[in-house]
Amino acid sequence: MSNTNNTLKIGTFTCVRCGLTVSGFAADGTRRNHCPSCLHSLHVTDHVEGGPSECHGRMTPIAIAVLRTGDWMVIHRCVRCDELTSNPVCSDDNQLILMRMAVRPLAEPPFPLEVFGAL
């Protein structure tokens, strides 16, 4: 029975933001490192130095990037050390949050939209 408990602990994690118990694997079987509900993560890998991170800060999703291949990536920023990372979007990630992040630059441009009326 203890093997089952260890497997459960290894195969899941608790979201640092919303508290959801999350499987370490997405619905399509790929590894996941962020919550599918709120897209937050935990800073456990130091992408600059390579290897584990001692920071353990909350990684907040701040943007979406689309690779040349068409794959979507979630861009995270650590609230403790400001490191930026990118992680693949999983098939069961919250689509509403993904779309909100994707359209935010168009909905909130850094210039007044009225300038287009003069063109």
Can you give the pLDDT at residue 21?
A: 95
8 Å CB contact between 34 and 76: yes
DSSP state of 61: E
Helix (H, G, I), strand (E, B) or coil at 105: helix
Can you give the pLDDT at residue 4?
A: 45
- Give the chain's mean pLDDT: 87
Gap between the Cα atoms of 8 and 84, Å rounded = 29
Q: What is the pLDDT of residues 8-26, one digit of tens each?
A: 446 899 999 999 999 999 9
8 Å CB contact between 30 and 87: no
When pLDDT is averaged across residues 59-66 and rounded to a whole number, the result is 96
Q: What is the pLDDT of residues 14-58, one digit of tens each?
A: 999 999 999 999 988 888 999 999 999 999 887 777 778 889 999
Gap between the Cα atoms of 25 and 57, Å rounded = 22
- Could you tell me the maximum CA-CA distance found in the chain, to the nearest angstrom? 71
Can you give the pLDDT at residue 119?
A: 67
Q: What is the pLDDT of residues 67-116, one digit of tens each?
A: 999 999 999 999 999 999 999 999 999 999 999 999 998 888 888 888 77
- How big is the chain, counted in residues? 119
Can you give the pLDDT at residue 3?
A: 43
| Residue boundaries of the structural domains of the chain | 2-106
Query: Could you tell me which residues come within 8 angstroms of residue 61 by beta carbon, excluding any fewer than 6 positions away?
Result: 34, 38, 39, 40, 41, 74, 75, 76, 97, 101
